[in-house]
Structures are given as structure tokens and as C-alpha cells.
């Protein structure tokens, strides 16, 4: 099990997370790895993370589920030290999980690696880009990086790929 210090405000940690730590943790994931909570399979979880990175790079689009005034309040979560609650329900998944797109969790993880690298490159070359997040509304690269860090840690914890302490520290 990988240990990752949970500090969304540490830029260096977030950079290391996207470059190494996320994929070191995912290396232990198998197609039959069971979640500690929730309805996602291992492959669904990886494809769900992939979808979020695709939204942040413009490869996919989504609508925001909340009015702008509420989004402004929700964005404060991106800066605090709290982890995403275990049973948080994404409003866009209320009708169920989307169909799987890849042959297995390993193939999905390879696609996720490409998407994360694309996000990092776009963050470096187009730092002023704004894209719509399904919960936080239109946000920039810095806030997307914070959202991705919290989101990924939440799902790594869900599948026992990081320790509880690393998500609560």
C-alpha cells in the first residue's frame, strides 16, 4: 500500500502525485480489487478518473450540476485540508455508471496516464485555460489540479491503494 501525504495546498506534492505517486498506487489495482464502499468496479474507478482528466483538458465536456452562487461556495473545498467524504455522490452519476470503454483496469490505467500527462502539459503551456467542472463550475488549471488530487486520493482510498492516514493527514 502506498502512503501519500494528503496536502492539497502543497504544489510540489501535487506535481509529484501526477507524475509518480498516483501511478505507483494504481500499480497494485487488479480488475477484481473490491471497493471499501460504493458501486464502482476497479475498472469503473479508473475510467471515472480518466473522464475527469478528459474534462479538464477539453477531451470531454460536461455541465455543472449547481448554480454559480453555490459553485463559489463549493470551491472553498478545493483549498481546505478535508478529504472527499467516502459516500459522496457525483450528481452526474445518479442514473448509474457509464458503460466501460477499455478492456480492463490496466488498459484504463494506461489511458489515464496519457490523460494525466496531457493535463500536466496543458497546465504548463496554457495555464489560463478555464473548463467546466461538474461540481465546481468553470475553474482554471490550479483549481483543476486541486480537484484532481482530492478526487484521485478519494478513489485510491476507496480501493485500499493508499492508507487511511494519508487521506486524512
In a domain, 164, yes or no: yes
Q: What pLDDT shows up at residue 163?
A: 87
In a domain, 24, yes or no: yes
- HEC string of 64-124 equals CCCCHHHHHHHHHHHCCCCCCCCCCCCHHHCCCCCCCCCCCHHHHHHHHHHHHHHHHHHHH
Q: What is the CATH number of the domain that holds 44?
A: 1.20.120.450
136-150 pLDDT tens trace? 999 999 999 999 999
Give the global pTM: 0.94
In a domain, 107, yes or no: yes
Question: Span 63-77, mean pLDDT?
Answer: 95
Q: What pLDDT shows up at residue 168?
A: 53
20-43 pLDDT tens trace? 999 999 999 999 999 999 999 999
Confidence of residue 169 (pLDDT cuts 50, 70, 90): very low
Strand, coil or helix: what is 36?
coil
Encode burial over 82-112: b for 16+ CB neighbours within 10 A, e otherwise.
ebbeeeeeeeebeeeeeeeebeebbebbebb
Q: What pLDDT shows up at residue 88?
A: 85
In a domain, 72, yes or no: yes
Full residue range of the structural domain in which residue 121 is found: 11-79+101-168
Amino acid at each position: 500500500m502506498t502512503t501519500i501525504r494528503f496536502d492539497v495546498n502543497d504544489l510540489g506534492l501535487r506535481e509529484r502525485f501526477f507524475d509518480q505517486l498516483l501511478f505507483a498506487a494504481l500499480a497494485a489495482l487488479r480488475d477484481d480489487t473490491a471497493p471499501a464502499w460504493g458501486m464502482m468496479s476497479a475498472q469503473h474507478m479508473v475510467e471515472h478518473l480518466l473522464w475527469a482528466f478528459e474534462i479538464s483538458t477539453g477531451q470531454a465536456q460536461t455541465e455543472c450540476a449547481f448554480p454559480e452562487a453555490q459553485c463559489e461556495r463549493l470551491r472553498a473545498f478545493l483549498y481546505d485540508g478535508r478529504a472527499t467524504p467516502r459516500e459522496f455522490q457525483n450528481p452526474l452519476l445518479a442514473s448509474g455508471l457509464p458503460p466501460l470503454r477499455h478492456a480492463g483496469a490496466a488498459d484504463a490505467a494506461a489511458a489515464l496516464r496519457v490523460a494525466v500527462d496531457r493535463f500536466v502539459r496543458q497546465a504548463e503551456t496554457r495555464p489560463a485555460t478555464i473548463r467546466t467542472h461538474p461540481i465546481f463550475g468553470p475553474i482554471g488549471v490550479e483549481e483543476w489540479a486541486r480537484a484532481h488530487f482530492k478526487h484521485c486520493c478519494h478513489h485510491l482510498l476507496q480501493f485500499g491503494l493508499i492508507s487511511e492516514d494519508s487521506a486524512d493527514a
